[in-house]
Amino acid sequence: MLTWGNHVFVAGNLTKDPGLKKTPGGRAVCTFSIAVNRDYQAGEEEKKDVSFFTIETWATLAENCATYLEKGREVHVIGRLQQDRWTDAEGGRHERVKIVANRVEFGRRPKEKHEGGGKGDDAPKPEIISIEEDELLKAV
């Protein structure tokens, strides 16, 4: 059950293949970016807007994301917002907000990866893989 606090849900498509790295302690971290589209009405005109979000996953969830995700793949992400702040070598201050995911559902693959590429009933059904970090950590 979600309580009030720092929770976020986004659904979108990967903008490029995910990157997997290991911390000095050997823990996996996978980072990827998603594009989230929004259609809206402005008077009589239909408009489109796109937002880009950086997603960060850890441990087994990170390894699974790195293995199964690819550019264009649809994902549904549940997590929390995290603000990073740092000072560069020249003394410039920087900050960014990212989503640290504790659950990622894998949706449709990119259209060009499908056999046939049709949009009708012959189109492949989405492959949904639901992975929660808490469940994976219990198994480790």
pTM equals 0.75
Query: What are 50-89's pLDDT values in tens digits?
Result: 999 999 999 999 999 999 999 999 999 999 999 999 999 9
1 occurs within a structural domain = no
Asked whether the beta carbons of 62 and 30 are under 8 A apart, the reply is: yes
Tally of structural domains, the chain: 1
Confidence of residue 110 (pLDDT cuts 50, 70, 90): confident
Q: Rounded CA gap, 55 and 32, in Å?
A: 5
Higher pLDDT, 110 or 118: 110
3 occurs within a structural domain = no
Q: Rounded CA gap, 11 and 75, in Å?
A: 6
**Domain containing 28 — which CATH number?**
2.40.50.140
What rounded mean pLDDT belongs to the chain?
Answer: 86
57 occurs within a structural domain = yes
What is the predicted pLDDT for the residue at 140?
A: 44
- Containing domain of residue 36, as a range? 8-139
Confidence of residue 129 (pLDDT cuts 50, 70, 90): low
